[in-house]
A = this chain, B = another copy of it.
Amino acid sequence: MKFSTLEEFGIRCLVQIARAGPSGALTIPEISEREGLSEANVAKVLRLLRQEGFVVASRGKTGGYALTRPAEEIRVGEVIHALGGKLYDDEFCERHSGGEEVCRHEGACGIQALWEEVQDAIDRVLNRKTIADLAQTPLIRREDLLGGRRS
């Protein structure tokens, strides 16, 4: 299983904006440069984030994107959910018309139960992390990792 690029890049962009400070903002070129993505691609992701209400854009020469809420209040799960949909939705079982009645709507499908369990496990992890948690990196420097022992 894997995340879509929209989901991943969405998180990355929000984290970068969060690092600009509580009332700071970043432009598309800035985010592009810092995250190593093309400007066009960043623009596409940010458009979705704006439509979903996570960021606001100001136009013009001094424009940029800013968070609509404090980074501490944006749960990662929200973003993933808004950008990527669910693993198991209500239509899921409808798409299978297998010959066995038991795997349709009889409520006794092991696959269905397992999928929901996985979805819950993922959501639990994603919902207890916020963008702020990801934004405040420990900022370990290479020197600390290598030569921290002596000298």
Number of copies: 2
Q: Once bound together, how far apart are the Cα atoms of A1 and B141, in whole Å?
A: 32
Q: Which chain B positions have C-beta within 8 A of A12?
A: 111
Q: B111 to A34, Cβ gap below 8 A?
A: no
By the criterion of a CB under 8 Å from any partner CB, how many residues of chain A are at the interface? Answer: 53
Seen from chain A, the residues whose Cβ lies within 8 Å of a Cβ on chain B are 1-4, 7-8, 11-12, 15, 33-37, 76, 80, 84-85, 87, 96-100, 102-103, 106-111, 114-115, 117-118, 121-122, 124-126, 129, 133-142, 145
The residue in chain B whose Cβ has the minimal distance to the Cβ of A7 is B1
Kindly list chain B residues whose C-beta atoms are within 8 Å of the C-beta of A84: 1-2
Residues of B within 8 A of A87 (CB): 1-3
Residues of B within 8 A of A126 (CB): 114, 118
